[in-house]
Amino acid sequence: MALLDSLNIRKIEPEALPSLGEERFGNENPFPIHPGLERTIIRVDVKLSNLKQRVGLAADDLDKSFRLPSGFERNGDGIPAIHPTFGRLSSPWGYRMHPVIGEVRLHQGIDICNKTGTPVYATADGVVSKAQTDDGWGKVINIDHTDNYMTLYAHLSSIKVKVGDVVSKGQIIGLMGNTGMSTGPHLHYGVYRNGNSVDPVPFMNRRDTSLYASTGK
């Protein structure tokens, strides 16, 4: 201290030093920002807030579009939930080389191969909206279900239902075949949601046994 006094240097007490956040600054900003930069920061902040809101709304819409009805389990009777037939999965959903046309196309369903005459089951309760013979699908059945689902069963050898029939999950609706644009006995099974093709495999979460089949018509 004697040395400091001899040099006429005053000791600075810690409390004498200003600190951020003390009331001594009042409303004055200790680090003033250029007005132009401040306006830019405000604009960016507003844009980020708007973007965050839009992303949140989009996420909500996406969640709602894929959410099952309240109290409805994945294996509910009105939503596809069982295997449509017995057999081996020979072609999955997705892009592939078409076996007949020879072009890369989206395979809007799965192929399950087995012997001609193998029973084909409705995978959910619904109403038959199509039961006819097409050039490409051969003998084909469409069934409308709850929550904007639709299932398609193609290349059948026999159709056991007609348009307007109310069918139950596990009911025999037809028999596997080789009709239409086909290279061998199999079932083409498709699942559609709001008119869009989706992969059927995630819906096939229950093993198909005789428990799910009726005697058909």
Six-digit token string for 37: 């930069």
How far CA 82 is from CA of 39, 50, 123, 154, in Å, comes to 59, 43, 5, 17
Residues in CB range of 76: below 8 A, 6 or more apart: 68, 69, 124, 146
What is the residue whose two structure tokens read 């109403």?
Answer: 127
Evaluate if residue 139 carries a pLDDT over 60: yes
Of 88-102, 113-127, 145-159, 201-215, which range is least confident? 201-215
Q: How far is CA 132 from each of CA 154, 155, 161, 180, rounded to the nearest angstrom?
A: 10, 11, 10, 11
Rounded to a whole number, what is the distance in angstroms from the first to the last CA of the chain? 110
Cβ(105)–Cβ(95) below 8 Å: yes
Enumerate the β-bridge partners of residue 177.
Answer: 186
Tell me how far apart the alpha carbons of residues 120 and 76 are, in angstroms, rounded to a whole number: 19
Is residue 151 within 8 A of residue 191, CB to CB? The reply is yes
The answer to whether the predicted template modeling score (pTM) of the entire model surpasses 0.75 is no
> Over pLDDT 70: what percentage of the chain?
57
pLDDT of residue 49: 65
2.60.320.10, 2.60.40.3080, 1.10.10.10, 2.70.70.10: which CATH number matches 88-212? 2.70.70.10
**53: left (phi > 0), else alpha (psi -120 to 50), else beta?**
alpha
CA distance 81 to 208: 10
**What residues contact 41, with CB distance under 8 A and at least 6 apart?**
33
* Most confident among 42-51, 64-73, 85-94, 137-146 (mean pLDDT): 137-146
* pLDDT score recorded for residue 215: 40
